[in-house]
Amino acid sequence: MTLEYPLWKKAIILVVLVFALLYSLPNIYRQDPAVQISSTGNAVLDAATKDKVAGDLERANVAIKSIELEGDRLLVRLLDGDAQSKAAELLTESLGTEYSVALNLASTVPDWLTAIHAKPMTLGLDLQGGVNFLMEVDGKAVAEAADERLAEEIKTMLRDKNLRGSASRSGDGVLVTLRSADDRKKAAGEIATLAVGAQLLDLPGSADSFPMSVKMPPEVRTAAMDQVIDQNLSTLRNRVNALKVAEPVIQRQGASRISIQLPGIQDTAKAKEILGATATLEYRLSDYENEGRIQDVLQTGRAPAGSKLYFTRTGQPVLLKRQVIAQGDEIVRATSVIDPESGTPAVSILLNDAGGRKMLRVTEENVGRPLAVVYIETVMEKKKVDGKDVITPRVKEEVISVANIREPFGKNFQTTGLERKEADDLALLIKSGSLSAPIYIVQERVIGPSLGRDNIEAGTKAVFYSFLFVMAFFVIYYKMFGVVTNLSVLLNLLLVVAIMSLLGATLTLPGLAGIALTVGMSVDANVLINERIREELRAGTSPLASIAIGYEKASGTILDANVTALLGGLAMFAFGSGPIQGFAVSLVVGILTSMYTAVSVSRGIASLFYSGRSKLARLSI
């Protein structure tokens, strides 16, 4: 049996070695703590902004590494985390609400590695830390929305039961006014069925006005808040998935808050924008009957009954009907497209059945009349009040288009008038689901590794020195074949890191345990090969034949042992979650690489050392 190894197999080993070196190399470059500045409106990011930021930081004695203007963002690299926090706080105050200031981790990987899509592994929260957002649901908005829905349901009930009256939200409940005491009594019975648990109270009225207060008890309010929190948790998970953040932690905190931890997040400005955004669309008919009264409305501030004054993006006033035809929660799907007629960005909209029926009915009845699209976004503003940061929501409403209805349409249509970025972001928000209530970020901070920096450094040292000890032991015990074993194990480790980096895997502490386990399995495989070679030598087989026979006999056993472990890893990945999946990924990748390096690579190295030496008298093993 010959030890010769085919040239094409040696070429593959060389390619694998180059691949492992290139794609594991980015992991040696540490990320810089940074502050990212982007425009939130019409503010311009230019050299003047860069100079202002540099001047502000210099006056505050905040040491920086560099300031880079990269397209639509300004990236300030800092020396450490303390400087990063101080710079973010300072710039948030000095730049105002026209700019978004976000914490970031800036890559230091060279451009030539980035060009070949070589990137470092994302480290999990337990190893690297990340960004923590504490978000709060607007409880007042939840209660108001519930009262608005109840008022609409009561209006519908009154109309269906032929009861003369009205219903509107008032204070912390709904005010229902009937025309007679008998109607009020009938309405109370219907409302008790409609809103189980509602507290009904007759109020003083007049000869033709019999008001009644409808309030939901605190336990119903709490249940509604719980439902909103659950819906928002689901929506936020979808939005985080759209950001492609691996192994995030999203959980409820207290009565109205949600904690979101994003490990190793790069673009925190984008994360803040997507997580807290409540952008949506409303479709309303134009109040064409009162168009001539717009100047009076501007002067008096009073719009006609059933109408509301809006403004277009160019500042033109528009009167629209208060009745909403369709809105965000009725949108099933939204896709960012280019309008084939105008060549401008648009969003292709698909409504649910209820929204589609309303849209079809309204457009059939109003062909030739204007239909307006209102873009609504909740913007959170931070202000200093008595020396404290107070965050208040500001609703931004703009009419993005007003066009005559040329023909009836229902569920499918296009909305134009958006800029490209707005169209893309709006489509993403609607795909991931609209938030049930406004939610805003009350705290943003960089969190350290949950295990503590000292523990991680101690663990890294322990792994490093134990690895050196094992390598030294192999050289002493197996001599030259110890060197072969060490080289194959090192390549296995590089290959695992390279593949996990290329796959975009997140490395957590369980993942490190998986890598350590696979390195151990690779060592075991080499021990098996070395002992097989020793057995052949003791049986009197020639040195070169012993090497070839040892590899042949050990290969089958190694394959059987690793396949069973591989099936276990696949099962953990399929049925596990979170840390279990992280462990499974590193285990599966490590098993596949260790089978290749322990058998093919180590044999290739051995053939490189010993092939062509036909008169070899003894082996150093």
**In angstroms, what CA-CA distances link 420 with 42, 102, 343, 347, 553?**
15, 23, 11, 10, 63
pTM across the whole model: 0.58
Instruction: Give Rg (Cα) of the chain.
Output: 34
pLDDT digits (tens, 9 = 90+) for 560-595: 888 888 888 899 888 876 678 778 888 899 889 988
Q: Is 12's pLDDT higher than 80? A: yes
pLDDT digits (tens, 9 = 90+) for 111-130: 899 889 898 887 776 676 66
14 falls in which pLDDT band (50, 70, 90)? very high
Do the domains spanning 32-106 and 140-221 agree at the CATH topology level? yes
384 falls in which pLDDT band (50, 70, 90)? low
Q: For residue 488, what are the contacts with CB-CB under 8 A and spacing of at least 6?
A: 522, 526, 597, 598, 601, 602, 605
Q: Is 275's pLDDT higher than 60? A: yes
User: 23, exposed or middle or buried, with CB in 10 Å at 0-12, 13-18, 19+?
Assistant: buried
Classify domain 226-446 by CATH number: 3.30.1360.200
Dihedral sign, Cα of residue 573, residue 574, residue 576, residue 578: positive
Q: How far apart are CA 351 and CA 505, in angstroms?
A: 37
CATH fold of the domain at 140-221 = Alpha-Beta Plaits (3.30.70)
Greater confidence (421 vs 153) lies with 153
User: What is the percentage of the chain residues whose pLDDT exceeds 70?
Assistant: 85
pLDDT digits (tens, 9 = 90+) for 225-264: 888 888 788 778 777 766 656 567 788 888 888 888 877 6
What does the block give as tokens for 269?
């400005």
Cβ contact 106:75 at 8 Å: yes
Question: So what's the pLDDT on residue 45?
Answer: 82
Question: So what's the pLDDT on residue 387?
Answer: 66
Angle at 311 between CA 306 and CA 314, to 5 degrees: 160
CATH of 7-26+452-610, one of 1.20.1640.10, 3.10.200.10, 2.40.160.20, 1.10.8.100: 1.20.1640.10
Closest CA relative to residue 276, chosen from 134, 387, 165: 134
Cβ contact 79:65 at 8 Å: yes
In the chain, what are the domain boundaries? Answer: 7-26+452-610, 32-106, 140-221, 226-446
Maximum distance among all alpha carbons in the chain? 122
Question: So what's the pLDDT on residue 20?
Answer: 93
Which region holds residue 346: left if phi is over 0, alpha if psi is between -120 and 50, else beta?
A: beta
Classify domain 32-106 by CATH number: 3.30.70.260
